[in-house]
Amino acid sequence: MELRHLRYFIAVAEEGSLTLAAERRLHTAQPSLSRQIRDLELEVGAQLLIRNSRGIELTPAGRAFLDHARLALAQVEVAGEAARRAAQVAKPSFVLGFLTGHEVTWLPEALRILRDDQSNIEVIVHSQLSPDLARGLLQGKLDVAFLRREDQVPGLAFKFLAKEPLVVLLPSDHRLAKHDAIRPQDIPRETFISVPKTTSPALRAVIDDYAARTGIDLTPDQEVDNISMAISMIVSTRGLALLPLYARNLLPPSVVSRPLQGEAPMIDLVIGYNRANTSSLLKVFLSKVDDLIARGSGSIS
């Protein structure tokens, strides 16, 4: 079994289509990809994929194999990253990842903690979507990430950091902006801007759960991948969005935030790291998470 077989299988499983996996991810011909998948199934000794009119579905064996295949590739990436770092003669480095926007609150405190122990340290910062941060941790490209708790990511560990309420974002001159708080039942009457399940699964789950709990329809009229796109869409459509409280750190004057009336939906922010990461700096950082929470929590409210 070769690593390329694992990569091909994961691409097909995630795209749900041999054609899309071949064209978008692997840049290869579909017949060749089909042969590679058949070779993998023969070597594994079980059918991993079912091909039907809707595309590709994983068999029970395929679902079990997928988690292990992802972990195997992640371990290879970690090994390669560790080797590259070891080959570099440079000062110690520590790579931090942030769910875009959270660096405003948490980066200064994270830097203070890291440099309390070692001033001669190179800190590298990435800002990405939560699923991308999880992949970066698995691949050994990040030491620590401030992200959502991503399910079904073997090899990662999470430490709870904070809970954030969701707030309503809307144009500053919108009629509802005059209110101190927004009634849930007012939201479905407006253009509703939300996030896709593919790029923000944790946030979308919280929004959908809130809709079910309050009995309102929050079917998105538009979906956006990040806060910048959300702001642009709010301004252009004069719509409303539900986003975590930290989003207000990034708002222009044309967009404001308002709390929800009643019990607001909450979403967790966690610190994630790879269990296989043996960095001494990571151990120091994790030992001071409580201090980080105490320092950073005052900046959230």
- Maximum Cα–Cα distance across the chain: 65
* pLDDT per residue rounded down to tens, the chain (301 residues): 788 888 888 888 887 787 787 777 778 787 887 888 888 888 888 888 888 777 788 888 888 888 888 888 888 887 887 787 777 656 678 999 999 888 888 888 888 888 776 667 888 999 998 999 999 999 999 999 999 998 777 889 999 998 999 999 999 999 999 999 999 999 999 999 999 988 889 999 999 999 999 999 999 999 998 888 999 999 999 999 999 998 988 889 999 999 999 999 999 999 999 999 988 889 988 988 887 777 655 444 4
Q: Are residues 157 and 281 in the same domain?
A: yes
Q: Are residues 8 and 45 in the same domain?
A: yes
Query: Which pLDDT value is given to residue 295?
Result: 65
Q: Are residues 136 and 192 in the same domain?
A: no
Last residue of a domain, one of 57, 83, 109: 83
The CATH number given to whatever domain includes residue 31 is 1.10.10.10
Q: Can you count the helices (H) and strands (E) in the chain?
A: 10, 11
Sort strands 222-223 and 192-194 into parallel, antiparallel or unpaired.
parallel
Q: Are residues 179 and 276 in the same domain?
A: no
Query: Which pLDDT value is given to residue 21?
Result: 79
Q: What is the CA radius of gyration of the chain?
A: 22
Last residue of a domain, one of 83, 113, 129: 83
Nearest-angstrom CA–CA distance, 60 and 46: 10
Query: Which pLDDT value is given to residue 89?
Result: 53
**Which residue range forms the structural domain that includes residue 78?**
3-83
Query: Which pLDDT value is given to residue 297?
Result: 56
Q: Are residues 173 and 30 in the same domain?
A: no
The pTM score is 0.65
Q: Are residues 257 and 191 in the same domain?
A: yes
The CATH number given to whatever domain includes residue 197 is 3.40.190.290
Q: Are residues 120 and 237 in the same domain?
A: no
Residue closest to 44 by CA, chosen among 25, 18, 72, 19: 72
Residue closest to 206 by CA, chosen among 252, 251, 245, 234: 245
Last residue of a domain, one of 83, 107, 130: 83
> What is the DSSP track for 76-120?
HHHHHHHHHHHH--SS-EEEEEEETTTHHHHHHHHHHHHHHH-SS
Q: Are residues 166 and 255 in the same domain?
A: yes
Q: Are residues 147 and 286 in the same domain?
A: yes
Residue closest to 228 by CA, chosen among 202, 204, 206, 251: 251
Q: Which residues contact 241 (CB under 8 A, 6 or more apart)?
A: 168, 169, 170, 192, 193, 194, 224, 230, 233, 234
Q: Are residues 48 and 142 in the same domain?
A: no
The CATH number given to whatever domain includes residue 121 is 3.40.190.10
Q: Are residues 134 and 278 in the same domain?
A: yes
Q: Are residues 106 and 152 in the same domain?
A: yes
DSSP 8-state class, residue 192 = E
Indicate the number of domains in the chain.
Answer: 3
CB 272 within 8 A of CB 192: no
